[in-house]
Amino acid sequence: MKSSPSPTTAEIVRKEVHAYILANFLPGESGEDLRDDDLLFESGIVDSVGAMSLISFLGERFKIAMADADLYPENFESVGRITSFVMKRLNHRGV
């Protein structure tokens, strides 16, 4: 009996980031309302206060430390970019 393949770590990160943004910044919206390449700041989904909440969530959930050099808006501009950023930090950590 074949088991289905487990999702990659990147896919897990993407799903959790997506779910967090939907729940905290787009309550009541469906998952289809947020694409991985939607620009979170430019579209007004996330503001500066929300960015701090998002950064805190990422640090706590994925156990990653962030240096000041990591806090460029480009790292957090979309679900896709956030996923890439988290994966780089996880890989740097050796996970």
Region 8-26 average pLDDT: 94
Which residues, at least 6 apart from 81, have a Cβ–Cβ distance to it below 8 Å?
74, 75
Report d(CA 42, CA 56) in Å as an integer. 21
Q: What angle do CA 38, 34, 59 make, to 5 degrees?
A: 80
Domain residue spans of the chain: 37-95
Query: Does the pLDDT of residue 66 top 80, yes or no?
Result: yes
Nearest to 86 by CA among 27, 2, 18, 1: 18
Query: Does the pLDDT of residue 75 top 70, yes or no?
Result: yes
**What is the reported pTM?**
0.86
Query: Does the pLDDT of residue 19 top 70, yes or no?
Result: yes
CB atoms within 10 A of CB 33: 11
Query: Does the pLDDT of residue 3 top 50, yes or no?
Result: no
Region 2-24 average pLDDT: 81
